[in-house]
Amino acid sequence: MSDIINALKQSFQDRFGSGGRIHLVRAPGRVNLIGEHTDYNDGFVFPMAIEPEILIVCRARQDGMIRLGTTLYPDETVEFSVQKEIVVDQPKWANYMRGVAAGLIAAGLPVCGMDALFGNTLPSGGGLSSSAALEVGTATAILMLSGDKLDPSRLALICQKAEHEYANMPCGIMDQTIVASGRAGHAILLDCRDLTKHFVPIDAKELRVVICNTMVKHELSDGAYAQRRKQCEEGVAYFQKFLPQVKALRDVTLHDVLEAKGKLSDVIFRRCRHVVGENDRTQRAAQLLADRQYESAGELMVQSHNSLRDDYEVSCPELDFLVEEAMKVKGVYGARMTGGGFGGCIVALVQPRSVAALTDHLMEQYPRRFKIKPVVFSTTATAGASVVE
């Protein structure tokens, strides 16, 4: 890692010049262990921050200019002023940072100029929340250079708003919350209605988290996300006719859903069954992991995947194959797709001694079936975004 940091610092000086005090900020990615498509239904999610991260080398400026670069696009440098209106512009990758700077200014926080170079060990577009890492990392760097701090929950809300307004992505609050609030050695059971957090220990000596990236992203994902949200809203509208206390599917019980079978359309019924069941599975899985009941927690992960595949219909053949193959390996407690679906990653809970066997198995079987080489890595729960130096 020291070689990566030194190379990034040298690239920073090559691009922005030497002099001044240089700082280093890190912002992790995240994986959601269970609780998918529940966040926008006021439900529960169970994410943890992971070891792959975004690194930011930065330096304060006194002229109000923010200059940005990324190792992903070595020929591009973006500039804008914090003393003028910050607008959506090209290139698109910089809109996450533009939105964060604008959000901090709108919140009345001091924002100074800065030079910043972003280095990434976090795969973009893999469902591991590189966008939230960019946002929270940017906010952490700006606040540090401006001599200010912010409560992690408030910081997460500012970053979420930036993604809504500057990247045009109507994301929930999970990603920004875990990247801002992660605690080393813990996952977070997050209530997406009131943002309360319950930290659950993840002992790296007993449990490893293995992530396998399918390296595919099917095109229908964007429209399908909006469609699923609309279908959930249709379900809420139905239940509100009989249950006025219902504000979101979070407020509906599985009994309520089963009673509605034949009254709701089959599609809306299955969407509701997934969300209501997933909320229950997520809360139970968090308690089981806290009690070190790994086999039972793993069974809930598989149930979650099956529900996402059959009731919510957001899986794909690549994800289904990886989950099925992962569960063939001794020492794997559970596996499921993670993220929005239609590609991206699976996540598995694994005994430490079985990590190598699982990795080798997936690296052998997936290319044989799909002619694609996956990316597989093992991680444990890390801390949220922080200033390293």
Residues catalogued as catalytic: 175
Q: Alpha-carbon distance 366 to 129, whole Å? A: 23
Report CA 227 to chain centroid distance, whole Å. Answer: 20
- DSSP one-letter string for 178-207: HHHH--TTEEEEEETTT--EEEEE--TTT-
Q: Alpha-carbon distance 168 to 178, whole Å? A: 21
- What three-state secondary structure class fits 349? strand
Q: Which contiguous run of DSSP H or E holds residue 74?
A: strand 73-81
| Sequence-ordered alpha helix ranges (H) in the chain | 2-16, 95-106, 130-145, 152-166, 174-181, 221-240, 254-259, 266-290, 294-310, 317-326, 355-370
* φ, ψ dihedrals at 28, nearest 5°: -80, 160
- What three-state secondary structure class fits 60? strand
Residues 6+ apart with CB under 8 A from 303: 277, 281
Q: Alpha-carbon distance 197 to 294, whole Å? A: 21
Q: Alpha-carbon distance 27 to 132, whole Å? A: 9
C-beta atoms surrounding 132 within 10 Å: 29
Q: Alpha-carbon distance 297 to 383, whole Å? A: 23
Q: Give me the amino acid identity at 246.
A: V
210, 376 in Cβ contact below 8 A? Answer: yes
* φ, ψ dihedrals at 184, nearest 5°: -55, 135
- Residue 249 carries which DSSP code? G
